Amino acid sequence: MPKLNQIIAVEKGVKSKSLQELTQAHHDVQKPALLAGISRTYQPKDEEGEQLPPESTRVQIKAEDVLRATAGTLTRLFDVTATKDWANRTAAADVVVEGTVLLAQVPVPYLLFLEKQLTDMHTFVRKLPVLDASESWNLDPSTDSWKTDPVRTIRTKKVPRNHVKAEATEKHPAQVEVYYEDVPVGYWTTVKFSGALPARRVNELLDRVEKLQQAVKFAREEANSAEVTDQRVGDAVFGYLFR
């Protein structure tokens, strides 16, 4: 008896071949010249008239022959697909992660669904925001988010100052230059908050997703190694359609 993974392996080729032959058959029966034939003979009016050879064109394609060939081609496709789909109703395997059965006897279609979803989940987790590594973060229970230690910085204000370049005399006023000096006027205390995740947490999540992805693939391979019973539905279908 064949195994499900063998049926899956040949299904694509059978489907491709069937499509090509069905397309060719469809094109052929759309060409009237291939379906038409003719036979002509010539007879002169009298014995002295010109003698011409007979002419004939053979029918190259018969619609009934095309139907039989099409039925033969598609019967194989119908049988292979039926064998796979009938087997998928019973083929199943456990999803085992680190020695623990996470999901028991999962059917193949759902394993395929899981594979696709986990691929999307891997992309999602890989792009989760990560805390800025240049800061030191602590979990704040009151806000349920991460925060940094307070950082105190000085607030300054520019205050004008006068610099006397030359003292006043009887003939000239004093020469005074104005400049600005940064003078401390207060202090800022800053605490940063973030809803991002520590890199360690993101890496842990990625590791779990990847382990489950591997477990699902192993389960699918195990399920696909189940023996299958060949289904014969094509003859019944086309026996009815083209009889």
pLDDT in tens, 49-102: 888 888 888 878 888 888 888 898 899 999 998 988 888 888 899 999 999 999
Distances (CA, A) of 27 to 58, 61, 64: 19, 11, 15
Residue-level pLDDT at 178: 85
Return d(Cα 177, Cα 157) in angstroms, integer.
19
pLDDT in tens, 7-56: 888 888 998 998 898 888 888 888 888 878 888 888 888 877 888 888 88
pLDDT in tens, 205-236: 999 999 999 999 999 999 888 888 888 889 99
pTM metric for this prediction = 0.68
Residue-level pLDDT at 192: 93
Q: Comparing C-alpha atoms, which of 80, 71, 76 is closest to residue 11?
A: 80
Distances (CA, A) of 223 to 9, 79, 213: 14, 20, 15
Cβ(37)–Cβ(56) under 8 Å?
yes
Q: What are phi and psi of 179, to 5 degrees?
A: -135, 165
User: Can you tell me which residue has the tokens 């004008």?
Assistant: 160
Residue 232 half-sphere exposure toward CB, CA atoms < 13 A: 2
pLDDT in tens, 136-172: 999 999 888 999 999 999 989 998 888 877 777 777 7
Q: Residue 107 has which token pair? A: 């059917």
Distances (CA, A) of 167 to 8, 149, 162, 171, 178: 102, 52, 13, 11, 15
